[in-house]
Chains A and B, each alone.
Chain A
Amino acid sequence: MNFLQKVKNVVVDSKVLSKTGLLRHSSHFVYQPDAKAPVDGPTQKMNMFQAINQAMDIALEQNESALVFGEDVAFGGVFRCSMGLQKKYGKHRVFNTPLCEQGIAGFAIGVANTGAKAIAEMQFADYIFPAFDQIVNEAAKYRYRSGNLYDCGSLTFRAPCGAVGHGACYHSQSPEAYFAHTPGLKVVVPRGPNKAKGLLLACVKDNDPCIVFEPKTLYRAAVEEVPVAPFESPIGKADILRAGTDITLVGWGTQIHVLQEVANMAKKQLDVSCEVIDLVSILPWDKETICNSVKKTGRVLIAHEAPLTNGFGAELAATIQEECFLHLESPVMRVTGWDTPFPHVFEPFYIPDKHRCLAGIRKLIDY
């Protein structure tokens, strides 16, 4: 399943690729490092896969029962997230599984039933669907259906998601909305190294089954100063990354970096003040922060890579109109992927890039 990506990882980095003309187009975002470290103390410059690696290292060290497993995690993972962990913690605690997502999910639930921590990797979010039954019917409902006799709260799934430039149908998907429709799960998406480390540690500690969708294009591209000490980013809490007065921009994952650039463009080109909010947590989501912002600005644009119809933007839009009806100056707008499978060569026309977002802002301001 991961043939393409394995090849990509073997072929070193994008500089070589662009020189040889193999890379078809440059990335659609510019990474915006977090302005401020989440906690005080010494920091280290890291990219996102290194921050995730450090979080798993901490989790394995803090919890004797913690296990890290999935396809190809033993040698370090196809995205390098589990580098060095098997050597440090042994083959019993960091190991490869057979190539079978429903097995990985079911196995993880069983590990978690005993109270041990399970950190399971789905190689790509696109391949999480074989495990959909285990995640939706089993993991999400374990505590509820047993009257709290049994649970699998000590499990965390990690899955690389989102556009990567050339991932096409099965290395680009953003399936968060499928899972957001499932009571019992927690779903989060980091925007960079700090958030990835903090959220992963929060999910490992959390007593409910969690899914972390990691935008894979950020693994290497996102670099920032990350506190060396363990810390947690709260699940269910959105981050206001930039305060503004004219319009609220909501997104998550890579899209946050698109929206921050869009906010600059809007200021410069339209003299519009944007408030940029990273939703961070898809389920449960931070209604209060979003609605307070929209009540203040009166306008909102929601942007995500996943398709429009029934994307998580629809849930936000419905709630915003219900909660902020009298404050809205224009309709709630969604700028998203189209209702098509994620295409290969058409990716630049598919993604909700800065130009589509800026055009959306213009339309809302002129409404």
Chain B
Amino acid sequence: MNQDLFPFLLQCLSSDAAVNNARAGGSLLHAKFPGALEASFVTAPKLSLPADIEPIPIYRVMNSEGAVEDPTQDPNLDQATVRKMFRDMVLLNTMDKILYESQRQGRISFYMTNFGEEASHIGSAAALSPEDWVYGQYREAGVLVWRGFTISDFINQCYGNAEDQGKGRQMPVHYGSRKLNFVTISSPLATQIPQAAGAAYAFKLQPNNQRCVVTYFGEGAASEGDTHAAFNFAATLDCPVIFFCRNNGFAISTPSKEQYRGDGIAGRAAGYGMAALRFDGTDVFATYNATKLAREYVLRENKPIVLEAMAYRIGHHSTSDDSTAYRPAEELEVWNTVEHPITKLKHYMIQRGWFNEGEENEFVKSVRKQVLSQINQSERIPKPDWREMFQDVYTEMPVHLKEQLRAMEKHVEEHRDHYPLKDFKQ
């Protein structure tokens, strides 16, 4: 043993370490492994089995009939707010149906619906501040609806025309809005999750910060390494971020039982030293309450939280998927009727006398009309100038890109007939 070290060790034991040991009832020479300071010794081996841990319960406010089971949990939102919730869900649902069909007709190249998950978008968006930053996956269009992204914003993006804020560079449903604090969607799964932690950290350091970050992702994306990275970074670096998992039972064709063996995604939070809350994602009020609580928690404590919204992906994964190949129609039927988020909220509104069948039918009709007319309009708006292809790669166009742009300009000039120039802004 190093002779110089010995007096140092003794000194440690006689000061703080001794006090800690005495508190823990241990002996003076009790080992304290730095990797698990709180753990005690046992003298018989004990496997920690997953079965010993109670699954995290699913919080809900409304039952399938839209009845509030515990009145103290009713957020008591005013009629105007509840109506906006309902109408935004209906708008999203209606727009989805038409845009899905328009893809089937070959009018847009791709689409992904939000069927069955409308409540988790609207309920969470309603509980956030409009200043909070949102990092999404791709199935969170309802958050944008709530924040004011318009039907024309959505459809122009899907068409990639000159009115698309993203300048036609990404596939349909890859929305983004600076004004609405919704960070542009990208296809690689889970990449946004550690980014959300980083943004939350930067906000935390700003004076008088009142802004948190929420990042949405599916239970499939939660299997990516980036999710692990994000959970651990957010916990160790104390980031005010809400990890909002949409657990809809499927990642394309893969059922959640092939995705993980633990207690869902919320069950992982404790392992990272994070708070968690699981709730019924078909219940807009449970979602609202959970998100509100989470927001208060992350901003008060400067700590992250995992929310897990349980739902069912009613639609196909995307327009490139036929989900009847891997799941029974009967299962789907239940989620499409009694357990449907819009149906539940409708029941709630009927019970309060807030639902007017005629008015709502008119609303659906008007949304249909708006969507259809916007499709016609968006189709006619030319695509951006093709030279936009070279912009925004860098802040300023470097020499080699300028040369490539010039080369393509010259080529197009000489071979005009072979390119769809009439579809593009000149």
A5 at the interface (CB under 8 A from B): no
Contact string against A for B residues 171-201, beta-carbon threshold 8 Å, 1 for contact and 0 otherwise: 0001011100001101010010111111111
B170 at the interface (CB under 8 A from A): yes
Q: Are A145 and B166 in contact (CB under 8 A)?
A: yes
Q: Are B169 and A144 in contact (CB under 8 A)?
A: yes
Q: Are B233 and A65 in contact (CB under 8 A)?
A: no
Contact string against B for A residues 130-142, beta-carbon threshold 8 Å, 1 for contact and 0 otherwise: 1001100110011
Please indicate which of the listed interface residues A105, A141, A145 has the most CB atoms of chain B within 10 Å of its own CB. Answer: A145
- When A103-B226, A284-B400, A287-B400 are in contact, do A134 and B194 touch as well, CB less than 8 Å? yes
* Stretch of A20-28, A36-44, A106-114 that contacts chain B: A106-114
CB contacts under 8 Å to B, within A102-160, are 102-103, 105-114, 116, 118, 130, 133-134, 137-138, 141-151, 153
B237 at the interface (CB under 8 A from A): yes
Residues of B within 8 A of A65 (CB): 202, 205
Contact string against A for B residues 232-253, beta-carbon threshold 8 Å, 1 for contact and 0 otherwise: 1100110000000000000000
* Stretch of B13-21, B263-271, B277-285, B387-395 that contacts chain A: B387-395
Q: Are A130 and B225 in contact (CB under 8 A)?
A: yes
Residues of B within 8 A of A97 (CB): 233, 236-237
- Chain B: CB-nearest residue to A206: B395
- When A110-B198, A137-B191 are in contact, do A145 and B395 touch as well, CB less than 8 Å? no
- When A103-B230, A144-B169 are in contact, do A133 and B392 touch as well, CB less than 8 Å? no
A244 at the interface (CB under 8 A from B): no
Q: Are A113 and B186 in contact (CB under 8 A)?
A: no
- When A137-B186, A150-B178, A150-B183 are in contact, do A110 and B400 touch as well, CB less than 8 Å? no
B308 at the interface (CB under 8 A from A): no
Residues of B within 8 A of A183 (CB): 393, 401
A236 at the interface (CB under 8 A from B): yes
- In the bound complex, what is the Cα–Cα distance between A145 and B236 (angstroms)? 31
Residues of A within 8 A of B167 (CB): 147-148
Q: Are A92 and B170 in contact (CB under 8 A)?
A: no
Cross-interface CB contact of A98 among B186, B233, B395, cutoff 8 Å: B233
Residues of B within 8 A of A95 (CB): 237
B229 at the interface (CB under 8 A from A): yes
B165 at the interface (CB under 8 A from A): yes
Q: When A and B form their complex, what is the total count of cross-chain residue pairs whose Cβ atoms lie within 8 Å? A: 152
Q: Are B184 and A146 in contact (CB under 8 A)?
A: yes
Residues of A within 8 A of B135 (CB): 110
Q: Are A147 and B165 in contact (CB under 8 A)?
A: yes
- When A92-B205, A130-B225, A146-B184 are in contact, do A113 and B199 touch as well, CB less than 8 Å? yes
Tell me, rounded to whole Å, the shortest Cβ–Cβ distance linking A156 to chain B. Answer: 14
Q: Are B176 and A133 in contact (CB under 8 A)?
A: no
Q: Are A107 and B395 in contact (CB under 8 A)?
A: no
Tell me, rounded to whole Å, the shortest Cβ–Cβ distance linking A276 to chain B. Answer: 23
CB contacts under 8 Å to B, within A49-106, are 65, 67, 92-93, 95, 97-98, 100, 102-103, 105-106
Q: Are A114 and B393 in contact (CB under 8 A)?
A: no
- When A106-B198, A116-B202 are in contact, do A147 and B166 touch as well, CB less than 8 Å? yes
A292 at the interface (CB under 8 A from B): no
Please give the number of chain A residues whose Cβ is less than 8 angstroms from any Cβ of chain B in the complex: 49
- In the bound complex, what is the Cα–Cα distance between A65 and B199 (angstroms)? 12
- In the bound complex, what is the Cα–Cα distance between A144 and B388 (angstroms)? 10
Please give the number of chain B residues whose Cβ is less than 8 angstroms from any Cβ of chain A in the complex: 48
Q: Are B186 and A141 in contact (CB under 8 A)?
A: yes
B399 at the interface (CB under 8 A from A): yes
Q: Are A100 and B233 in contact (CB under 8 A)?
A: yes
Contact string against B for A residues 253-284, beta-carbon threshold 8 Å, 1 for contact and 0 otherwise: 00000000000000000000000000000001
- Chain B: CB-nearest residue to A106: B194
Residues of A within 8 A of B394 (CB): 143, 184, 186, 208
Residues of B within 8 A of A67 (CB): 201-202
- In the bound complex, what is the Cα–Cα distance between A130 and B233 (angstroms)? 16
Q: Are B191 and A146 in contact (CB under 8 A)?
A: no
- In the bound complex, what is the Cα–Cα distance between A145 and B138 (angstroms)? 14
Please indicate which of the listed interface residues A103, A236, A284 has the most CB atoms of chain B within 10 Å of its own CB. Answer: A103
A207 at the interface (CB under 8 A from B): yes
Tell me, rounded to whole Å, the shortest Cβ–Cβ distance linking A66 to chain B. Answer: 11
Cross-interface CB contact of A114 among B176, B202, B401, cutoff 8 Å: B202
B398 at the interface (CB under 8 A from A): yes
Cross-interface CB contact of A107 among B166, B174, B198, B398, cutoff 8 Å: B198
Q: Are A145 and B197 in contact (CB under 8 A)?
A: no
Residues of A within 8 A of B199 (CB): 110-111, 113-114
B164 at the interface (CB under 8 A from A): yes
Residues of B within 8 A of A111 (CB): 198-199, 201-202
Residues of A within 8 A of B348 (CB): none
- In the bound complex, what is the Cα–Cα distance between A130 and B199 (angstroms)? 21
- In the bound complex, what is the Cα–Cα distance between A296 and B135 (angstroms)? 53
* Interface pairs (16), CB distance under 8 Å: A92-B205, A95-B237, A103-B229, A103-B233, A105-B194, A106-B195, A106-B226, A110-B196, A110-B213, A118-B198, A133-B191, A145-B184, A147-B166, A148-B392, A149-B184, A207-B395
Q: Which residues of B contact A (CB under 8 A)?
A: 133, 135, 164-167, 169-170, 174, 176-178, 183-184, 186, 188, 191, 193-203, 205, 213, 225-226, 228-230, 232-233, 236-237, 391-395, 398-401
